[in-house]
A and B are shown apart, each in its own frame.
Chain A
Amino acid sequence: MWGIALRHIFLTMHQLERFADLFIFPIVGLLLWGFLSQSVAFASSNLAVFFIGGLILWTMFERVGTGIGIDFMWDIWERNLMNVLASPITLVEHIGGLVWVSIIKVIISIAAMWLIAALFYGFNLGSLGSSLVFLWANIVIFAVSLGIFNVALIIRYGHILGPLTWIIPFAIQPFTAAFYPVSIFPPYVQKIVYFLPLVHVFEGMRYTLSTGKLDLVRLETAFVLNIFYFVLAIAFFSYMFSIVRKRGTVAKL
């Protein structure tokens, strides 16, 4: 597992654009939208706080969710995947290594965003208190499920489907209620989006930011949904992997 992690840590160190992944994108995004939200929300400061909190949590999700698929594709792009598949490590360890590395990276990104948000907007991520840990855990689990789902698609259909790694988070973003309350959606849409753990995470975040209390029901709901999607992602992955081992297309990636 550490081997896979190390491989991507080295890769990151060699590539300037991957440092951009860690710092520049999260920070520039935060600056841009942070200032915008402040200018729009002169009157109600809650709105700005909700927005900045949503932005930081969303970035955590997006980094982990896309990072896993992208790191996996690096081994395809560099024609190294077969060497890794031939090694004794199991697929679980392989995926475990990818998850590990994206968690390390996201912690670095969060630290940077925490600092920037505090410096520029007086927004302290720590004001979420213990809620932050639970929100973060739920976000990471869902992002990991998405990452595993992406890798399964890539393994089965090749990196032609690679762009889905970016497209899926982009496509679900409007429905996650990251930047506005769920109540904005029409009632029937609300019923559907409640199946997304992220919706409960962002609602929970706003609740904590405005009341200072933990929204246990939301966190538990998110967690139960997360377990469901995680199991689904693993099952989908195992199924896809067994197909490509039979068809022999793993060796052709």
Chain B
Amino acid sequence: MTTKLLEVENLTKKFPSSVKTSEGKGEFTAVDDISFSVSAGEIVGLLGPNGAGKSTTINCLLGVIKPDSGSVTVFGMDLQKKRTEIMQKVNYCSAEYNLPWHLTVYEALLVFCHLYSVKNAKERISELLGLFELEDLRNKAVRELSFGQRARANLVKSLLNRPRLLLLDEPMASMDPDIVDKGIKLLKKIQKENGMSIIYTSHNMWEIEQVASNVIFINHGKVMAQGSPLELTKQELKLETKEPDLREVFIRLTRRKEKPL
């Protein structure tokens, strides 16, 4: 219990919906009674099709959205009560969002150093810009960066405060495979060095296969299956294999109509 960095219990989030369903009075359940935990140093992949409830889950973990029920415990503290303290050692990155467009890379990162009370901000920024091969761009405006450079700058932002828990919500969405591959390698290297935990969401099974040691497959807001990529493959495809094949698992689980686990 105490070794768990993050514990999510019975998390449920309903949104008001214009469409009336049989289950509720115009409510739509985006996250449906999800429970899982993340240990220190673990990379968990949250895999599921578009609209599965991945971002909603992440936003609940960030305390940006208030869940209807369930509890989120980070570093042994209740997120509802200790959000500020917890977020000091958590960070977030999504390809959907940018660093401030008109600022230079350095200025934008400096702003986030202040928001996260990072000490020795200058050194920290230089160190990370070096790691992500962005030194030459430090005085360029964020809007002038290419797609891939922006993704890397976002990742730099998410590492500024040396997070113990990193929440990555489709950080490489719509990037070309070469960029994704480089990004993931770098991320895994940094993760190995400082032992942080990562939750990585994607609808791309290949990405998840590369990055995650433990995969949680969700659809319609429910956990459908959970395990290492290889375990999932064996368990869902019911065959003996040495190669994980999340693509097949993804297709099966997405099309499966019967009750989840």
Contact = CB atoms under 8 A, between A and B. Distances in A.
A248 B115 contact: no
Contacts of A247: 15-16
A11 B87 contact: no
A7 B103 CA distance: 8
How many residues of B sit at the interface, in one of the four size bands? 35 or more
Contact of A85 (B64, B86, B114): B64
Contacts of B104: 10
A20 to B, nearest CB: 15
B100 A75 contact: yes
A4 B84 CA distance: 16
Contacts of A74: 100
Contact of A87 (B65, B87, B101): B87
B157 A248 contact: no
B115 A78 contact: no
Interface stretch (B88-96, B206-214, B228-236): B88-96
Interface in A70-104: 74-75, 77-90
B77 interface: no
B184 interface: no
Contacts of B167: 86
A248 B15 contact: yes
Given A2-B114, A85-B64, A251 B59 contact: yes
Contacts of A11: 100, 102-103
A231 B30 CA distance: 35
Contacts of B62: 85-86
A80 B110 contact: no
Contacts of A90: 84
Nearest to A87: B115
B112 A87 contact: yes
B77 to A, nearest CB: 13
Interface footprint category on A: 20 to 34
Contacts of A251: 55, 59, 64-65
B64 A3 contact: no
A191 interface: no
Given A248-B15, A250-B64, A82 B114 contact: no
Contact of A10 (B30, B84, B107): B107
Nearest to B99: A80
A83 B110 contact: no
A69 to B, nearest CB: 17
B98 A15 contact: no
Nearest to B88: A88
A79 B115 CA distance: 17
Nearest to B142: A78
The 4 closest A-B pairs by CB, nearest first: A3-B114, A88-B87, A86-B92, A3-B115
30 contacts: A3-B113, A3-B114, A6-B110, A6-B114, A7-B111, A10-B104, A10-B107, A11-B103, A14-B102, A15-B102, A79-B98, A79-B101, A80-B97, A80-B99, A80-B100, A82-B96, A84-B115, A85-B64, A86-B92, A88-B86, A88-B115, A88-B116, A88-B117, A89-B84, A89-B115, A245-B65, A248-B13, A248-B30, A251-B55, A251-B59
Interface of A: 2-4, 6-7, 10-11, 14-15, 74-75, 77-90, 242, 245-248, 250-251
Given A88-B87, A89-B115, A250-B64, 9 more contacts: A6-B114, A7-B100, A10-B102, A10-B104, A82-B94, A83-B97, A83-B112, A88-B116, A250-B65
